[in-house]
Amino acid sequence: MPGLLEALGSARVFDLEQPRFAGAPSHPAHAPGFNYFLHRHHARGAPEARTSASGLIVMPEHSGTHIDALAHQAENMILHGGIHVDSGVQTSVGFRVHGVDTLEPLVCRGLLLDVARTQRLPPDHAITRSELEQAASAGGVEVGAGDAVLVRTGYGALWTDASQYLHAAGVSAGGSRWLVERGVRAVGADNIAWDVIGPPDPELGVTLPGHMLLLVRAGIPIIENLNLEELADAGIHEFAFVCLPLKMRGATGSPVRPIALA
């Protein structure tokens, strides 16, 4: 235990969450995004010296830096593991299976695949399997079973510019398939939807093909809207990764504050 505490104490902590504020980029399907209202105010005239303030948060579970639960997507109405959404698992108060509360805390080896490197990728660019392999090679890492793989497009630096951020590069279906083949535990990217927001994939015939390949077919959760700039600037490609979904029963996703320790 002393050795572990020593190692943790000497590690640099990289905060991978983007700030949450009204007007932050939001996928059109998850409007209106994050909103905070100061409900109770510190005010004069209180019966004692102590006063109190507290607020109300209104947001979709898929806003800001968040993780997608397996219930988030279905293929032909079938969830991961062959569960039909009409079998009583989808209710008005959430899912009875594959809700975000069923995701274990992610504490594992993390890898940064810095595809962008020194130059942000072109808008709406689909990152190929080959580009992921090249990024792994350039970073001196090999993607393996149980890893959390974080892909940098460079668009995390545009978090305050929604119009540009919503046209971020994303991972192609081929790239997602490669990560599934490697047996990764989780994936994430510094963009709005992991995939490119655009036309259907020509082979699968669906938009956001990585969501279907990863969440539905492979049971691999996706983390979106990561801030990978500091990690990339430090040249860190391998690290201890910690990501803790909230235990919101039956929810299809959860805000998270992931960290990298290196």
pLDDT 10s digits, 228-262 = 999 999 999 999 999 999 999 999 999 999 999 99
Q: Cα–Cα distance between 69 and 141 in angstroms, integer?
A: 27
CB neighbours of 235 closer than 8 A, spacing ≥ 6? none
Kindly give the pairing relationship between strand 126-127 and strand 148-152.
unpaired
Q: What is the pLDDT of residues 51-92, one digit of tens each?
A: 999 999 999 999 999 999 999 999 999 999 999 999 999 999
pLDDT at 1: 64
Question: What is the model's pTM?
Answer: 0.96
- Assign residue 88 a region: left if phi > 0, alpha if psi is -120 to 50, beta otherwise? left
Write out the H or E segment, with its range, that includes residue 137: helix 129-139
Average pLDDT over residues 190-215: 97
Q: Which domains does the chain have, with CATH numbers?
A: 13-18+60-261 (3.50.30.50)
Q: What pLDDT does residue 8 have?
A: 76
Helix (H, G, I), strand (E, B) or coil at 7: helix
Alpha carbon dihedral 41, 45, 49, 52, in 10-degree steps, equals -10
Burial class, 240, CB count within 10 angstroms (exposed 0-12 / middle 13-18 / buried 19+): middle
Residue count (the chain): 262
Per-residue model confidence (pLDDT) at position 139: 98
Burial of residue 88 (CB within 10 Å: 0-12, 13-18, 19+) is exposed
